[in-house]
Amino acid sequence: MRHDTTAAAPTPAERDRPSLVTVTGTELARLKRGFLVWYHLLAPVIITVPLFLGALGSAEAKAGQTFEVFRNVTLEFWGVLVPMTAGLAAALSVRADQDAWRLLLSYGVPRGRYFMGKVAALGVLGFVSSTVLLVMLSLGAALSGQFLDALGTVAAAVYLPWLVGLSMTAMATLVAVVWGMGPSIGVGVAGLLCGALVSDKVFWYAVPFAWPMRVVLPLAGIGPNGVPLPDDSPVTDPGAIPLAVALAAVLSAVLLAVGRIHMIRKEI
């Protein structure tokens, strides 16, 4: 008996209703050769290499605290860079898709998946960037002879800002879709400023832009300026971390729903 090994053509339902995973994969495939991929891969390296060299020459290095200085300053930069990166990435990605969306929105694919797939793809890039940062910090810890002692805290301090920062990615993407590139970058700038100025204030929970930096502070035991905090400082309270994660989850869900509705109603 002869068996036909030719792959079956996709049915209309499969073609016109791709899963969110498929849409996200398509977004990543379109981004893989552009500026954003290289930015996410190289930004952690560009940040950490000079900071580690600077830590080697610091006064604390003579007391055997090279890695502590390197870690604190790096995480300070990372806490404000997460929302800044979200704004920049969303702005450039959405701008690059304007012409493509004019065609794609004429198809029968559920429009909301374009928005959700865009946010998910940018979230994947952020995860990759966080992983590169973790590798760089781990190398710094190993060179300082503190690899095993530092790994757990460093991993949490790297990935939690990314997790909380997904809400900033959703916000920046929505702003870029609705109002364009400039306001989306403005979201990133607001995140940078609020991370530096608001994250250690008592009202931090009311300012979403400050959430990524806020989860870093108790883990690293530092203020927004990178200076170690006293043990009795309220900023070191780890209770802020689950609150920030919960607030970010709620905000992300709301923004994804709003973005989905906007794309459904968007005129071609």
| DSSP code for 237 | -
Compute the distance between CA of residue 19 and CA of residue 207 in angstroms, rounded to an integer.
Answer: 34
pLDDT confidence of residue 268: 58
216 vs 214: CA distance, rounded Å? 5
Tokens of 21: 């995973």
Tokens of 257: 């729903």
Across the chain, which has 268 residues, the per-10-residue mean pLDDT values are 49 64 87 88 94 83 79 88 94 82 68 88 96 92 72 85 96 94 93 90 94 90 83 88 97 96 78
According to DSSP H, which parts of the chain are helical? 12-16, 20-31, 35-56, 66-96, 98-104, 112-143, 147-179, 181-197, 211-220, 240-265
Prediction pTM value = 0.88
So what's the pLDDT on residue 221? 83
Query: How far apart (Å, rounded) are the C-alpha atoms in residues 18 and 195?
Result: 38
CB 118 within 8 A of CB 96: no
Tens digits of residue pLDDT in 41-61: 999 999 999 999 888 887 776
